[in-house]
Structure 1
Amino acid sequence: MLTSGHEQEASSVPDADLNPTETTGYKVGQQKTVEELAQLDAEDESLVRWKASLGVGAGAKPTAGSGPAVTVLSLSLSSPSRPTPIELDLTTPAALSALKSDPIVIKEGAEYSVELRFRVNHGLVSGLKYIQVVRRLGKNWDKLEAMCGSYGAKDEPYVKKFPAEEAPTGMIARSGTYTVRSRVTDDDKTVHADFEWYFKLGKEW
């Protein structure tokens, strides 16, 4: 299920489980446009470099734009024990739905990393965050919550790789299908993507 204009089915992972952790004492700063940021302290070299990393400055895309601010393109699983990553194309809802009956296979005990590829279409997105909850047999098994950062609009996709995790092991862990609900949100609590995918554990990839 995707939030980008597609009909959603009820999820087995409750919405409340996808809520981001609130940082005590942290306040969301006043949102500025790309144009306003470009004018800030132009003579400050460190700030110029920071703005350049966000795509702010000469040649930056303007704040205004139609359509979604962020398009999440793919989610990949890579592992030192696997020659090529497993890539989920998030621009094709039918391919994602097919995983319910034919889930991907993750090798038990394997170390793997989740990688997100996304594009910022216009404006500036502050505090982009990825959250995923893994659920099986009505119970949450794992939750990953990782900060991506702040990004300005540009034509090329951004890629964010998260710290490695280790897959469970054992006969019980190998039984049944795991449901993963993933969400991409930001400081303003805007949900840019919300989708489910499925996997099983096997003795090999």
Structure 2
Amino acid sequence: MDTLRRPFFLGAALCSLLVVLIELGQSFLLAGGQARPGFGVRSLALIDGVLLYNVVLMGLALVLPERVQGRVQGLVTLLLSLLLLLGVIVLGLTAFVTLTVMLGLLLSFFGFPVYLGLFGHFDRSGAATTLALLMTLKLAFVILLVLAQQRFLQNRSLILLILTSVVSGLLLGWLHALVPGLLVSVTDAIGAIVVAILAFVWGVLLLIGGAVATVKSIRLRV
């Protein structure tokens, strides 16, 4: 029960990688060669990127000595958390400004035709297909991870991160289906803002963990 089954772990890592690539809009993974519209799907990469990083760390533990990994992990985590927080701020502010513009156009009599021309053609079916594919890959990731090592279920932070990822995808799909097609761009931006807030929380936690690990590593060297 304590042995890590590497083929299953590698399969889980591959699923996690595919999830992030799809969310970033890699054309070679998406039918038609086009990225999905809106901010929602892309915002999921902020959270799933953190999950992928955790999987990479677990994989490095298989090939690197514990002392080497401990020295490198803190600094890398610190740098990546700063990049994550920067990405959260940029995407969150962009989605918020876009949402403000859309609401302003909707509330204006002469702005409604402009809204229809700019934001009224959200590809809801394409986004739904992408979200369904993502959820399938996430389910496969969880199954393969459990098959690789049941003790992963005892890692509370990992479980919470997986739940955050799954709930974010479900929330985004629900927001897309909640309103008529003309208004999906609005709810998509709202979903992106919510996901950005969740990613910000995880970014802060990573930043704290990376800072603590870096300080400990420096003290050990001294």
Using structure 2 for the length normalisation, give the TM-score: 0.27
Of structures 1 and 2, the one scoring higher in RCO (CA 8 A, sep 6+) is: 2
Bigger share in helix = 2
Q: Which has the higher strand share?
A: 1
Whose Rg is larger?
2
